[in-house]
Amino acid sequence: MMASRGYDMTPTMYSPDGRIYQVEYAMETVKRGAIAIGLQSRDGAVIAVEEKSRDLQVEGITQKIFQVDDHIGIAAAGYIPDARILVDSARFFSQSNKLTYDESVEIETVAKHLADQSHQFTQYSGVRPFGVALIVAGVDKKGARIFVTDPSGTYIPYTGVAIGGNSDEVTDFLEKNYKKEMSMDEVMSLAISAINLKSDEKGVKHIRMSKIKTDTKLFEEVSQEELAKHAQAKDQHAQAKDQHAQAKDQHEPENPDGSSK
């Protein structure tokens, strides 16, 4: 438990050891959110979230993935109402940029704008930091780009990233299995595996995903049917790999002492 001693009453006050407790509390809110993943492939970018629906909830409405512009999407982890406010700001900023410069806004420019918005709420009394982290993904003239913003106002580029609950374990999984030259289909399958790694549910019913392809530069939602196909293909590939390994072990010659070469 943090020993705040009253230094956590406002985000404008540093503790004696140089900490801003309100910002740290906001980051803890992100860690309590559902997992969100962003992956860059050789032909685009993918964002995916874990989103469990209640029995009577209307399906097909994603609460944690947002479209900002034709070529930009955002996945959120943490306090989702805060995400909606930031996404609305990003949409206004993106459209204003297009009207002013007659070209689509760059992904990094949007990420910096959102980070600046978050940072402002760490500088004034009477406000609290945004309790949400965002994965900003899209395709611009520099190719597929992914950035992450957090409550402190930091924004960092990634090729693959996980935020939210159990993100440390999922990040370790991505570091071992992700390769930048992967295709769009491969990173979609990897995102499914990453979300299911620590989830109580398996399959794809609890997963929402969107993609932006390099050739079209258009934000697209991935249907449950397409997710199921990727999950099935992933399982078949894993099964074939296991069978190949077993066959190799059975046919491996042995040394005279009975041990394998």
CATH value at residue 238: 3.60.20.10
Position 1 scores a pLDDT of: 44
Cβ(174)–Cβ(145) below 8 Å: no
Position 216 scores a pLDDT of: 95
- Residue 215, domain member (yes or no): yes
Domain containing 225: what range?
21-245
CA distance 20 to 85: 23
Position 240 scores a pLDDT of: 46
Q: What is the mean pLDDT of residues 188-213?
A: 93
Cβ(132)–Cβ(89) below 8 Å: no
Is the pTM value of this prediction over 0.75? yes
- Residue 171, domain member (yes or no): yes
- Residue 61, domain member (yes or no): yes
Position 244 scores a pLDDT of: 44
Position 247 scores a pLDDT of: 55
Whether the pLDDT of residue 256 is over 50: the answer is yes
Helix (H, G, I), strand (E, B) or coil at 224: helix
CA distance 107 to 139: 7
Contacting residues for 240 by C-beta, under 8 A, at least 6 apart: none
- Residue 252, domain member (yes or no): no
- Residue 1, domain member (yes or no): no
Whether the pLDDT of residue 96 is over 50: the answer is yes
Phi and psi (nearest 5°) for 34? -70, 155
Q: How many domains does the chain have?
A: 1
Q: What is the mean pLDDT of residues 226-243?
A: 67
- Residue 260, domain member (yes or no): no
- Residue 11, domain member (yes or no): no
Q: What is the mean pLDDT of residues 140-155?
A: 97
Position 217 scores a pLDDT of: 96
- Residue 10, domain member (yes or no): no
Position 44 scores a pLDDT of: 97
- The gap from C-alpha 54 to its chain's centroid, in whole angstroms, comes to 22
Cβ(73)–Cβ(67) below 8 Å: yes
Mean pLDDT, all residues of the chain: 89
Position 50 scores a pLDDT of: 95
CA distance 75 to 192: 15
What confidence category does residue 23 fall into, taking pLDDT thresholds of 50, 70 and 90? very high
What confidence category does residue 141 fall into, taking pLDDT thresholds of 50, 70 and 90? very high
CA distance 43 to 185: 10
Helix (H, G, I), strand (E, B) or coil at 156: strand
Whether the pLDDT of residue 254 is over 70: the answer is no
Residue whose pair of structure tokens reads 């806004």 in the numeric block:
105
